[in-house]
Structure 1
Amino acid sequence: MSQTLSHRLDGRVALITGAARGMGAAHARTLATLGAHLVLADLDQGELDSVAKGLREDLGAEVVTVAGDITAPEASERLLDAVTSEWDRLDVVVHNAGIVHDFTTLADTTSIDLQPYLDVNVLAPFDITGAAVPHLRRSHAPRVIFISSQWGQVPDGHSYGYMVSKAAQLGLMKALAQELVADRILVNAIAPGAVHTRMIPDHYYATEVAAVPLGRVAEPNEIAATVAFLASDGAGFITGQTIPVNGGALIVGI
């Protein structure tokens, strides 16, 4: 029997970290356009308020904001309290928060330098997912989505903190997918190449554009479209996967 699958997310609740700008703000707008209610987390309350105001005015979206450091003690509890105080459900968690990678070599890096990257990209998502699971179990379409990086798959020879933590993030995604499939919680990752955001210095784009087969870097809304798909019913048989969104970069080995 044929079945029509909808990519609408009407009434579903999505938690997005790193949502104040760039890709996170794009994820928020895309999911809100599809009908999702949002809990947006980031460090800067002012930027969060600006994103939330735009979503409310433009789309009539229901949005809650939580400002703070996701690596802080009790951060996951604060986020889930924000969800449950507004809605008695959680359907989608998008681990988008990240920190800019500095271009360092082994000689310039110590193990201490790696810790902030691991805290943001691996340990905080681990804690947040753990806190979210009891709520996700009650959803009819629970999703956990990591925004990773192509440099977690194929290192470019620099920035150990960024590359090691993104590779570890993909390992965490697979481990969670393996365990949580018993609860029907689907866990996947997106691995963008370079994306036109403030995280990447302007001079870096020239190098990336020359290397990418499609001849440009991605726009944030192109990554957000993949987030929306993974959050939707159309992705109901996908788990434990890393979806590359890189303009063909991996086919030429970058």
Structure 2
Amino acid sequence: MSNGTGPATGRLEGRLAVITGASRGIGAAVARRFAAEGAQLVLIARTVGALEELDDAIRAEGGKQPVLVPHDLRDFDGLDRLGASLHERYGKLDILVGNAGILGPLTPVGHISPDIWQEVMDVNVTANFRLIRSLDPLLRLSDSGRAVFVTSGASSGLNAYWGPYAVSKAALEALVRTYAAEITKTKVKANLLSPGPIRTMMRAAAFPGEDPQSLRPPEAIADLFVALAEPACTKNGELVEAR
């Protein structure tokens, strides 16, 4: 069985992985690749139907039946309960992939309503903080806990009208690097991955005039996630850019 850009070799066999934003795009591609590599998955997304379709695909490809968690990441108390539930059921967590994110409006900063600003920060930054807070103890119980968070080149803040998204990704990078600095003496490692231009719904919304067929599909970068998630990974606090 294979998925993504290369043959599956069991690099994640026996590993338990939580993936957010798993129902489509990069999250779904990573889920299928992780399943092909032998991982047991806990898949989080808001859309039940899309999660069920992904479940069907994973099992059709020979992967282990995933645990589906329909959940809005802005329900922060629910993220706390996730940690408790995983501890009770599995006793540890090996991999966390913080992939979920929203674009927000592409408009001048002065035109952004406070509630929309807060929504982007909640999903792109605070939810990942709450995931770390809830799941760090479980990652420390793994023999090689790994955390991977999806960022963007927009974090540079050099592009006009990208305010909420750019600021949220810059904050996420600072959060993950801080966390990585705090776990240097543990078996846990945390890194950032910047996918670059990928054929996703978010990309289409941001660049409506772009030909999606000119972009790489999400599957093209799935193996980078495997490399950062497997026990052999030695990186910590780094930003890996897909080339």
Determine the C-alpha separation between the residues in 2 that align with 1:202 and 1:161: 15
User: Identity over aligned residues, as a percent?
Assistant: 31
1:56-205 to 2 correspondences below 5 Å: 56-153=59-156, 155-201=158-204, 204=207
Cα pair 1:144 1:187 within 8 Å, conserved: yes
Separation of aligned partners in 1, 2:151 and 2:108: 21
CA distance 1:47–1:82, change in 2 (3 Å): farther
Q: Summarize deviations over 1:219-253 as a string: whole Å, max 9, x none.
A: 21123211111011332x210011112x4xxxxxx
Greater shift in the superposed pair: 154-163 or 164-173: 154-163
CA contact (8 A) 2:154 2:162 kept: no
Q: Who is 2:6 aligned against? A: none
After superposition, the CA RMSD in angstroms is: 2.2
User: Contact 1:7–1:229 at 8 Å: present in 2 too?
Assistant: no
State whether structure 2 residue 14 is matched by structure 1 residue 29: no
Seen in structure 2, the aligned counterparts of structure 1 residues 203 and 158 have a Cα distance that, compared at 3 Å, is closer
Give yes or no for contact 1:7–1:232 (8 Å, CA) kept in 2: no
Paired residue secondary structure (1:187): strand
Total equivalences in the alignment:
235
**Partners in 2 of 1:134 and 1:160 — Cα distance?**
33
Does residue 232 of structure 2 align to residue 234 of structure 1?
A: yes
2:221 maps to 1:218: no
Which aligned segments of 4 or more residues in structure 1 are displaced greater than 6 angstroms?
A: none
Indicate the larger mover: 8-17 or 103-112: 103-112
Instruction: Give secondary structure in 1 for the equivalent of 2:61.
Output: helix
Specify the alignment match of 1:49 in structure 2. Answer: 52
Structure 1 counterpart of 2:231, which letter?
Answer: D
CA distance in 2, matches of 1:153, 1:181: 26
For 2:230, the aligned partner's letter is S
- Say whether the 8 Å CA contact 1:92–1:231 is kept in structure 2: yes
Indicate if the aligned counterparts of 2:204 and 2:210 stay in contact, CA closer than 8 A: no
Asked if the contact 2:36/2:61 (under 8 Å) is kept, the reply is no
Structure-1-length-normalised TM-score:
0.85
Q: Structure 2-normalised TM-score? A: 0.88
Q: Does structure 2 conserve the Cα–Cα contact (< 8 Å) formed by 1:148 and 1:190?
A: yes
Greater Cα offset, 173-182 or 71-80: 71-80
Gaps of 5+ in 1: 1-5, 210-214, 248-254
226-235 or 31-40, larger mean C-alpha shift: 226-235
Match of 2:241 in 1: 244
Offset at residue 156 of structure 1 (A) = 2.0
Contact 2:157–2:167 (8 Å) recurs in 1 = no
Rounded Cα–Cα distance in structure 1 between residues aligned with 2:221 and 2:89: 27
